[in-house]
Amino acid sequence: MLRVCIPLSALILWSSAVSAATTIPLLPPPKLQASSYLLIDSQTQTVIAEHNAQERNPPASLTKIMTGYVVEEEIRRGRLGVDEPVQISVNAWRTGGSKMFIREGTSVPVADLLKGVIIQSGNDASVALAEQIAGSEDAFADLMNQQASLLGLEDTQFRNATGLPDEQHYSTAKDLALLTRALIENHPEQYQLYSEKSFTFNNIEQPNRNRLLWRDRSVDGVKTGFTNAAGYCLVASAERNGMRLISVVLGTDSDEARMRESQKLLSYGFRNFETKTLYSQNQTLQEQPIYYGVVEAMPIGVAEDVVLTFPKGYYQDIEASITVPEYFEAPVRKGDVLGTIELKLGGENLYSGNVVALATVEEAGVFSRLGDYIYLLFDQSAADE
């Protein structure tokens, strides 16, 4: 086998930047006044900072991220119309907590109710949509749990569409970050609503409770939550220079604290880490000799984009190497796995993946193959001497 170093030029990588940073100088992440928190890069899902990220906690109104997600899935599948009128029940109208102030017996379009859920954190709007989609809030919670399972949220269970207290209603910082990432990736149009600073319904204007939208221009979401059991919570997301981070802060003691601690996380991530595409799908990394084929060399590369989150300023220190046979023999099909590629930083392995053929090479004619056979025969004989 041949092992060669290659230059960095431009992967999807699942790595731990914190682990990689243990062998190089790096400021430690801030310690927050919160019961649980997590900071990840949205693209690579690299964990940049965390504390009790898999601890189950009451999510309060962070629940409504899933409520909105399920609504959008129903719209996408054609089972719910954006302009579809929703009859407001007594049950929805009477729901306690934060309100959109819809009225019993009236009809409200889905689009307005969705804004009421996302911008105004309306419990009444959440119940109205749940009843419209599933017939009851309990049945809608079943849909929420099915969607949580599809998204791989392993420590989440919903009992309602609002986040009002229930001992069997819980989630984790990790699961809420994964849910938010899915929302941003799968439903970007709905995600835009999370950046709107106010919404007026029934002549009542209410501001978005996420006050980071006013403090940091790079923040474009996501959702606040509060109950006595949950404390003050905030899922936030921001994008700077093409890098998007998602922070989850649970169990702080005030509205000001959840904003302050979230901003600490985001600032730490943007200041100390960067995300780059190191290699692109179908990018030729090198040409490798091939015998018995219609060409003499074959391009090899990675099967998918390779994207990496790593400590800022250490791009040039990432070491890349490819391990492949010294030559190949035709026929070879495009996409065939030919070897491996490794990326390391500070002695830590950041990525290991396959190297593949970027082109199909068919067998050459008889005389050409005979010539390659004779060449290899003598080449091997010379090597054995």
**pLDDT tens-digit profile of 45-58?**
999 999 999 999 99
Active site includes 121?
yes
Angle at 67 between CA 104 and CA 73, to 5 degrees: 110
pLDDT tens profile 315-347: 999 999 999 988 888 899 999 999 999 999 988
Domain with CATH 3.40.710.10 in the chain: 34-252
pLDDT of 11 higher than 50: no
For 246-276, give the DSSP string. EEEEEEESSHHHHHHHHHHHHHHHHHHEEEE
Active site includes 61?
yes
Mean pLDDT, residues 138-152: 98
Active site includes 195?
no
Strand pairing of 348-357 and 328-329?
unpaired
Q: Is the dihedral of CA 302, 307, 308, 314 positive or negative?
A: positive
Class of the domain covering 2-15+278-384: mainly beta
pLDDT of 98 higher than 70: yes
pLDDT of 361 higher than 80: yes
pLDDT of 142 higher than 60: yes
Which residue out of 35, 36, 89, 121 is catalytically annotated?
121
Q: How far apart are CA 357 and CA 337, in angstroms?
A: 7
Tokens representing 302?
A: 């990675």
Class of the domain covering 34-252: alpha beta
pLDDT confidence tier of residue 381, bands split at 50, 70 and 90: very low
Q: How far apart are the first and last CA of the chain?
A: 20
Pick from 217, 107, 233: which is nearest to 170 by CA? 233
Q: How far apart are CA 380 and CA 377, in angstroms?
A: 5
| DSSP structural state of residue 203 | T
Domain with CATH 2.60.410.10 in the chain: 2-15+278-384
| Higher pLDDT, residue 257 or 15 | 257
| DSSP structural state of residue 57 | B
Rounded alpha-carbon distances, angstroms, from residue 142 to 85, 95, 138, 267? 23, 19, 7, 37
pLDDT score, position 161: 98
pLDDT score, position 372: 53
- Across the chain, how many H-helices and E-strands are there? 11, 18
pTM exceeding 0.95 = no
Query: Which residues lie below 8 Å from residue 143, measured CB to CB, with a gap of 6+?
Result: 70, 133, 134
Q: How far apart are CA 266 and CA 187, in angstroms?
A: 23
pLDDT score, position 368: 63
pLDDT of 377 higher than 80: no
pLDDT score, position 375: 64
pLDDT confidence tier of residue 24, bands split at 50, 70 and 90: confident
Q: How far apart are CA 93 and CA 101, in angstroms?
A: 8
In 10 A of CB 370, how many CB atoms? 12
Query: How many residues are recorded in the chain?
Result: 385
Query: Which residues lie below 8 Å from residue 372, measured CB to CB, with a gap of 6+?
Result: 291, 292, 364
pLDDT of 15 higher than 50: no
pLDDT of 363 higher than 90: no
Supply the mean pLDDT for the chain: 90
pLDDT confidence tier of residue 291, bands split at 50, 70 and 90: confident
Verify cis geometry, omega within 30 degrees of 0, for the bond prior to 331: yes
Which residue out of 61, 89, 171, 237 is catalytically annotated?
61
Which residue out of 64, 174, 223, 264 is catalytically annotated?
64
Could you tell me if 54 and 36 are in contact, meaning their C-beta atoms sit under 8 angstroms apart? Answer: no
